[in-house]
Amino acid sequence: MRKFARMKSLFAVICLLAGATLLTAENAPVRVTTPVNPNPKPKPVEVTTPAKSGEKAKVEGKKEAEPVIPGVAIPRPNGTFLGLQVADGFFKLSFYTAKKKPMAVDVTRAAVRWPNNRNATGPNRDVLNLSGEALVGNKKVLPPLTVTVFLTLLKGDGDDAKAVEEYVVAFHD
């Protein structure tokens, strides 16, 4: 019986060694080499002449970088943009010109609705009110932050408020 037990232990050790060898072989790094071009083409050199006194130097081929709207950029029918983002845990709606420069808020407030992924009590709703140069909500936005947001821009106060623009935004942060 002892001989059989020794053979079982020996067999187990052999199996462990074989398994370890296979795992090591599967995880071995693969090296990929790229051929080196023996005759690389030289890069063209730009030659500029110094600007004359009183003239501005011209820089050809370089344009100003287009400003980036933080969050999700939403184009409006009048050519301007909205920027919807989550700042400090709350929705923030900023307004931008056609050249993507910040501009003053041109509506009274905005209503926001997004799905409630945490329980079945219905969608989350919030009203974004003026705070500085943007509309900001007062309800915390909890993760996940990849949701469909329904945004309604309102003009007027109280019962006279009218929806002037509506958007469905695929929001991601």
Which runs of consecutive H residues, i.e. helices, occur in 27-115? none
Q: Number of folded domains in the chain?
A: 1
102-150 residue pLDDT tens:
999 999 999 999 998 888 888 999 999 999 899 999 999 988 888 999 9
Residue 3 has a pLDDT of 61
Q: Which positions of the chain have pLDDT values less than 70?
A: 1-7, 12-13, 15-63
Residue 34 has a pLDDT of 47
User: Is 139 contained in some domain?
Assistant: yes
Place of tokens 């110094």: 50
Sign, Cα dihedral of 34, 40, 41, 45: positive
User: Is 23 contained in some domain?
Assistant: no
Residue 28 has a pLDDT of 46
Number of C-beta neighbours around residue 56 at 10 A = 7
User: Is 83 contained in some domain?
Assistant: yes
CATH number at residue 93: 2.60.40
Q: Are 48 and 60 in contact (CB under 8 A)?
A: no
Exposure class string for 97-123: b at 16+ Cβ within 10 A, else e: eeeeeeeebebbbbbbebeeeeeeeee
Cα-to-chain-centroid distance, residue 32: 32
Place of tokens 């029918």: 77
pTM: 0.62
Domain, as residue range, for 130 = 72-171
- In the chain the first and final C-alpha atoms are separated, in Å, by 67
User: Is 143 contained in some domain?
Assistant: yes
